[in-house]
Amino acid sequence: MIKFDAVNKRFPNGTTAVHDLTLEMPEGGITVLVGSSGCGKTTTLRMINRMVDPTSGTIRLGGKDVLEQDAAELRRGIGYVIQQSGLFPHRTVLDNIATVPLLLGWGRKKARARAAELLETVGLTAEAGKRYPHQLSGGQQQRVGVARALAADPPVLLMDEPFGAVDPVVRTQLQDELIRLQRELNKTIAFVTHDIDEAVRLGDRIAVFRTGGHLVQCAAPAELLARPADDFVADFLGAERELKLLSLTTLAEVPLQRATTVREDAPAPPAGSGPLLVVSARNEPLGWLDPSGTDAAPLTPVRPLRDTDTLLAALNESIASPAGLIARVDADGVLTGVTSREAIHEHAGRRHQEAARAAVSLTEATALSKTPGGTV
Ligand SMILES: Nc1ncnc2c1ncn2[C@@H]1O[C@H](COP(=O)(O)OP(=O)(O)OP(=O)(O)O)[C@@H](O)[C@H]1O
């Protein structure tokens, strides 16, 4: 969908912001651009909608060179979201969202109806639509920014640190919302951040840049984490990159074992029978009971996990659990079984090896395709 071919950007003051960039951003996917401050992420993004023009090289959107298109027309097909949301302070939230449809001549009624629909899409109430931007929290303003960018249903979204100015809890919520929205909307998204955790959560592909506008590696998150191309990328990913990889894998394929349970209203179990999972009449896990403890000992809390939870969450829970077991439930919260810390660990190790192997075969395929006469 978006293709950079040998693109350079040198500003008149002599700064090279982007150096010989060749990169593809696939249709319907989120490509995240990461790297430390000043490495050219924003400039790369802005060259897509021609807020900045490249010094050399070609950028194609849907096969067409962006420089051969009228900038205003090009931007109609590209939504743009920035960190400070960029809302007009003297217009209501609803009118802010309706901005682009109005510019496109939709008529006030149709534009407002679309804006109202989008308010709901991004999780805001109709009442919020009547307020002015300063009457909303930072997180809500960012949602409005996303709604405004989506108003004319552009196939492409450029998002420049859109969640950078909100606290970590709201940031996670906004990321969840974007993941949910993207499942429905399937936009081609270029997303800039300097937060590697955000990149791993959101990206279908992650492009890592270093100072001077150099692209160092572009790969799917699991491949990047399992096989960073060099020490720079490894440092950028951080020391816990194996744990980050666990956040990309769900529990679904990890085998279940039968749980030893006791009903909450049952008589006290015999001492010495090891930790038991106390369940409700509906078979919902309530806590761990250690019969070797005193009668008055409280239950150890349990946080039941579903198949959609990550291996990282499972490992975390298994550390706190008395016997190293995690309780697993179905979508209704009913117990399906337990899984041991060892089983989680073994699956995590296998997952790591698979990701590393996938990354190696990709690297080999790329090397082969660059060899004259090489075939893939
Ligand atoms: N209009 C400009 N004129 C001159 N230099 C510029 C201009 N815009 C950006 N630069 C420089 O180009 C380099 C890349 O900037 P850019 O904003 O693309 O980086 P970035 O990775 O997005 O940084 P940040 O994470 O801090 O936003 C920097 O050295 C910056 O100072």
Residue nearest to atom 14 of ligand 1 (CA): 40
pLDDT at position 174? 82
Q: Give the model's pLDDT for residue 272.
A: 62
Domain shared by 113 and 139, yes or no: yes
The rounded Å distance from CA 214 to ligand 1 centre is: 13
Ligand 1 centre and the CA of 215: distance in Å?
15
234 lies in the same domain as 212? yes
Pair type for strands 325-329 and 335-340: antiparallel
**Is the CB of 37 within 6 Å of ligand 1?**
yes
Residues shown for the chain = 376
164 close to ligand 1 (CB < 6 Angstrom)? no
The preferred substitution site among 8, 13, 43, 194 for testing ligand 1, maximizing ligand atoms within 8 Å of CB, is 43
Least confident range of 91-100, 111-120, 257-266, 290-299: 290-299
Q: What is the dihedral of CA 30, 1, 208, 56, to 10 degrees?
A: -150
Contacts of 118 (CB under 8 A, 6+ apart): 97, 147, 150, 151
373 within a domain of the structure (yes/no): no
Give the DSSP letter of residue 68. Answer: G
The values of phi and psi at residue 36, to 5°, are: -75, 170
Q: Model's pTM, two decimal places?
A: 0.83
* Residues 6 or more apart in contact with residue 57 via CB below 8 angstroms: 4, 5, 6, 7, 8, 20, 21
Phi, psi of 112 (to 5 degrees): -70, -35
Last residue of a domain, one of 238, 265, 290: 238
pLDDT at 259 over 50: yes
In a domain, 35, yes or no: yes
Per the model's pLDDT, the better-predicted residue between 322 and 257 turns out to be 257
- Reported confidence tier of residue 199, pLDDT bands at 50, 70, 90: very high
Amino acid 333: pLDDT? 95
The pLDDT > 90 percentage for the chain reads: 51
If asked whether residues 209 and 280 sit together in one domain, one would say: no
Q: Which of 308-341 are b and which e, b meaning 16 or more Cβ less than 10 Å from the residue's Cβ?
A: ebebbbbbbbbeebebbbbbbbeeeeebeebbbb
Domain match, 149 and 259 both: no
Q: Is 234 exposed, middle or buried (0-12, 13-18, 19+ CB in 10 A)?
A: middle
What range does the domain containing 104 cover?
2-238
Claim to verify: residue 212 and residue 278 sit in the same structural domain:
no
Span 101-133, pLDDT tens digits: 888 888 888 888 889 988 888 888 889 999 999
Residues 96 and 11 grouped into a single domain: yes
CB atoms within 10 A of CB 54: 22
CA distance 352 to 223: 9
* Closest by CA position to 311, among listed 254, 354, 250, 252: 250
Which of 156-170, 269-283, 322-336 is predicted most confidently? 322-336
Task: Give yes or no: residues 115 and 260 share one domain.
Answer: no
pLDDT attached to residue 297: 67
Cβ proximity of 269 and 276 under 8 Å: yes
**Confidence grade of residue 371 (pLDDT, cut at 50, 70, 90):** very low
Whether residue 369 is predicted with pLDDT greater than 70 in this model: the reply is: no
| Distance from residue 276's CA to the centre of ligand 1 (Å) | 58
Cβ–ligand 1 contact at 53 (below 6 Å)? no
**pLDDT tens-digit series, residues 45-69:** 999 999 999 999 999 999 999 999 9
The band of 36, judged by pLDDT with boundaries at 50, 70 and 90, is: confident
Q: Which of 177, 107, 113 is closest to 145 using CA atoms?
A: 177
The pLDDT of 359-364, averaged and rounded, is 64
d(CA 285, CA 305): 10
H-helix or E-strand spanning residue 116: helix 108-121
Instruction: Work out the mean pLDDT of the chain and round it to a whole number.
Output: 87
Alpha-carbon gap, residue 373 to 18, rounded angstroms: 31
pLDDT at residue 40 tops 50: yes
Residue 372 in this model has a pLDDT that exceeds 50: no
Residue 121 buriedness (CB in 10 A; 0-12 / 13-18 / 19+): middle
Are residues 122 and 230 both part of a single domain?
yes
SS3 of the chain: helix, strand, coil, percent, to 5: 40, 25, 40
Residue 376 has pLDDT above 60, yes or no: no
Contact 318 CB / ligand 1 (< 6 Å): no
Residue 103 has a pLDDT of: 82
Residue 357 lies in a domain: no
Atom of ligand 1 nearest to the CA of 213: 14
Query: Residue 320: which CATH number?
Result: 3.10.580.10
pLDDT at 374 over 50: no
CA of 39 to the centre of ligand 1 (A): 7
Establish if 135 belongs to a structural domain: yes
Do 165 and 264 reside in the same domain of the chain? no
For residue 41, the CA-to-ligand 1 centroid distance in Å is 8
Statement: residue 373 has pLDDT above 50: no
Domain total of the chain: 2
Give yes or no: residues 26 and 169 share one domain: yes
- ∠ CA(220), CA(226), CA(231), 5° rounding? 100
Check pocket membership of 88 for ligand 1, CB cut-off 6 A: no
CA of 58 to the centre of ligand 1 (A): 20
Q: What pLDDT was estimated at residue 242?
A: 85
Q: Is 360 within a domain?
A: no
Closest residue by Cα to atom 31, ligand 1, is: 38
20 within domain boundaries: yes
CA distance 192 to 78: 15
> What does the pLDDT read at residue 365?
60
**What CATH code is carried by the domain that includes residue 102?**
3.40.50.300
**pLDDT score for 142:** 86
Q: Which of 73-77, 202-206, 230-234, 353-357 has the lowest mean pLDDT?
A: 353-357
**Cα–Cα distance measured from residue 29 to residue 179, given in angstroms and rounded to the nearest whole number:** 11
Helix (H, G, I), strand (E, B) or coil at 323: coil
Residue 157: CB atoms within 10 Å: 23
Considering only residues 272 and 290, tell me which one the structure prediction assigns the higher pLDDT. Answer: 290
pLDDT at 320: 83
Same domain membership, residue 315 and residue 179: no
Is 369 part of any domain?
Answer: no
45 lines ligand 1 (CB under 6 A): no
Distance CA 65, CA 211 (A): 27
375: pLDDT strictly greater than 80: no
Given a contact cutoff of 8 angstroms between Cβ atoms, the answer to whether 290 and 265 are in contact is no
Ligand 1: residue of 11, 195, 211 to mutate (most ligand atoms within 8 A of CB) is: 11
N-to-C CA span, the chain: 22
Structure confidence by residue, pLDDT tens digits, 296-334: 667 888 999 999 999 999 999 998 888 899 999 999 999
Residue 137 and residue 172 share a domain: yes
Cα-to-centroid distance, 66 and ligand 1 (Å): 21
Closest residue (by CA) to atom 29 of ligand 1? 38
Label the pairing between strands 156-160 and 78-82.
parallel
Q: What is the pLDDT of residue 143?
A: 87
Is residue 183 in a domain? Answer: yes
